[in-house]
Amino acid sequence: MHTPQFDVIIYGASGFTGRLVAEYLNHQYSGRDLRWAMAGRSLDKLNAVRSEMGITADIPLIQADARNAESLAAMAAQAKAVITTVGPYQSYGEPLVKACAEAGTDYVDLSGEPLWMKDMIARYDSLAKASGARIVHSCGFDSVPFDLGVYFTQDIARQEFGQPCREIRGRVRKMKGTFSGGTAASFKETMVRVGKDPAALENLKNAFSLSGAFEGPRQPAGHKVQYEDDLNSWAAPFIMASINTKNIHRSNALMDHAYGQDFLYSEMMLTGDGAQGEAMAQHIASDNSMAKKPPKPGEGPPKEEREAGFYDVLYVGETAKGERIITSVSGDKDPGYGSTSKMIAECALCLALDIDRAETPGGVWTPAPAMGQKLINRLIANAGLKFNIEPS
């Protein structure tokens, strides 16, 4: 194991989301004993960002480039944990995963790219286990609120009913904000890969494609508009369901199927009752703006829009005996930028400062089994998230 100089390094700190992560650490942890640095390809750009955001010159700058393996290795050797916001990850991400896995350095990203993540598990899980590196993908809006929402719900179910829920429905109750340009770029790159490799389409469709050799039961459909009587609302397909579902089933597998080997999960967006709710659901189901007019990577909404954003997700759980529980996870700020930048920062800090390797050893993880309640505590205390039990 190396002796790190920094608790956390932000790689990509001059990019739009990386700047927000740096702003968050500077504001939230000012005056605290936290050692962190900003990294990227251009020291001039990093210096400009540091000045523009009022970050003290005491915060070090590190030059590192995805095309230069030596620079990534040198950066990884200096950190307990590296945050990377440099995507699409299938284009730029693997060299840093490799560097961290070799160095024994913890790693967090914002990947919602299941085909690339499947590759990283195959190539680096064994190496990370040997070095002690905890590689944790999907540490933003995909998939922290959803992965931890299911984890939280199952924990309450075991306390109240003595068993986990056999089925949980994740339902986005409210959301205001935009998806990031990085998410759009990742979607585009994934579609390019599917076009070149038709077999990849089967992995995209398979809810268990990140769960190793395990193949669970047929999962509930979530790709068509439907009416949910118990919630008095129409429900539409949710664009993040594909990646979130895969991560949640991987979490279950990593925890020795603590949710059960017959666990069912689906994820949709609620649109309200009546004709208006149905019309909204049909509109969402037919919307392909992500493919037609995606936001550009490196760009994002102004601060007032980020501040005005929010999300609120319900988790409706039912045990094999029919016992019912409803929980919710909500976040302030818009999901794609404001909340995501806070979540990924807290994931890195949780790994670096709270989770020892006896508790979570090296390997390729998802957020819930890697950090669990300690991450929930951090998100509640610092990042504007709330985890609640709802009337059922």
User: Are 90 and 193 part of one and the same domain?
Assistant: no
What's this model's pTM, rounded to 2 decimal places? 0.95
User: Are 187 and 250 part of one and the same domain?
Assistant: yes
Mean pLDDT of the chain, nearest integer:
94
194 domain residue, yes or no: yes
374 domain residue, yes or no: no
Instruction: Name beta bridge partners: 355.
Output: none
CATH assignment of the domain containing 78: 3.40.50.720
User: Are 20 and 95 part of one and the same domain?
Assistant: yes
Asked if pLDDT for residue 312 goes beyond 80, the answer is yes
377 domain residue, yes or no: no
The whole-number pLDDT of residue 181 equals 67
Could you report the per-residue pLDDT of 205-256, keeping only the tens digit for each? Answer: 899 999 999 999 999 988 899 999 999 999 999 999 999 999 999 999 999 9
Could you report the per-residue pLDDT of 190-202, keeping only the tens digit for each? Answer: 777 877 887 888 8
Closest by CA position to 38, among listed 351, 345, 338? 345
User: Are 214 and 312 part of one and the same domain?
Assistant: yes
Q: Is 274 left (phi over 0), alpha (psi -120 to 50) or beta?
A: left
242 Cα distance to chain centroid: 13
User: Are 80 and 185 part of one and the same domain?
Assistant: no
376 domain residue, yes or no: no
1 domain residue, yes or no: no
- How far apart, in whole angstroms, are the C-alpha atoms of residue 366 and residue 108? 10
* SS3 at position 73: helix
User: Are 133 and 240 part of one and the same domain?
Assistant: no
Could you report the per-residue pLDDT of 137-183, keeping only the tens digit for each? Answer: 999 999 999 999 999 999 999 999 999 999 999 999 999 987 666 66
User: Are 101 and 192 part of one and the same domain?
Assistant: no
Domain range holding 25? Answer: 6-140+342-369
For the chain, give the percent of residues with pLDDT over 90.
Answer: 84
User: Are 163 and 206 part of one and the same domain?
Assistant: yes
- How far apart, in whole angstroms, are the C-alpha atoms of residue 32 and residue 382? 13
User: Are 284 and 161 part of one and the same domain?
Assistant: yes
379 domain residue, yes or no: no
Structure tokens at 65: 């480039």
Number of domains present in the structure of the chain: 2
Closest by CA position to 4, among listed 107, 128, 138? 107
User: Are 189 and 112 part of one and the same domain?
Assistant: no
109 domain residue, yes or no: yes
Eight-state DSSP code of residue 140: B
User: Are 330 and 346 part of one and the same domain?
Assistant: no
Q: Which residue has the higher pLDDT, 33 or 75?
A: 75
User: Are 169 and 266 part of one and the same domain?
Assistant: yes
Those residues with Cβ within 8 angstroms of residue 276's Cβ, 6 or more apart along the chain or in another chain: none
Stretch 74-83: mean pLDDT, rounded?
98
349 domain residue, yes or no: yes
